[in-house]
Amino acid sequence: MSRALPATLRSLARVTASVVVALALAACLTVGRDFPAEKVGEIAIGKTTRDDIHRMFGTPWRTGLEDGRRTWTYGHYRYKLFGTTETRDLVVRFEPNGVVASFTFNAAPPLEGSL
């Protein structure tokens, strides 16, 4: 019986190590939905419509109101325990007639060519 105990302990140690490694590798959290950030430059204030935005980026991840204006938010946030956290968000504000009043786009780390 004394030989079974070390084998059991070795087996338990292997399982524990495997679980720890799996958790460390999967230690990230993704929130939101990916969207084509390369299309942000196509948005024209006073010209692009809500339908245009929907065609370019799809259904918004979040909607709301800001200063009485309808807003659509596209966001993709990937938080990592190890490595660089990656975030991108686009907030589009619309005039009452459905045309883009303003928008804000942010990315971390910065996208290539944005600095």
Domain segments of the chain as ranges: 28-108
pLDDT of the residue at 23: 55
pLDDT in tens, 53-88: 999 999 999 999 999 999 999 999 988 877 788 999
pLDDT of the residue at 98: 97
Report how far Cα 77 is from the mean position of its chain's Cα atoms.
3
Please count the other Cβ atoms lying within 10 Å of the Cβ belonging to residue 67.
7
> CA neighbours within 13 Å on the CB side: how many for 59?
2
Q: Hey, what CATH topology would domain 28-108 get?
A: Beta-lactamase Inhibitory Protein; Chain:B, domain 1 (3.30.1450)
Please count the other Cβ atoms lying within 10 Å of the Cβ belonging to residue 109.
10
Tell me the average pLDDT across 89-108: 97
Calpha distance 100→90 (Å, rounded)? 13
Q: pTM of the predicted model, to two decimals?
A: 0.71
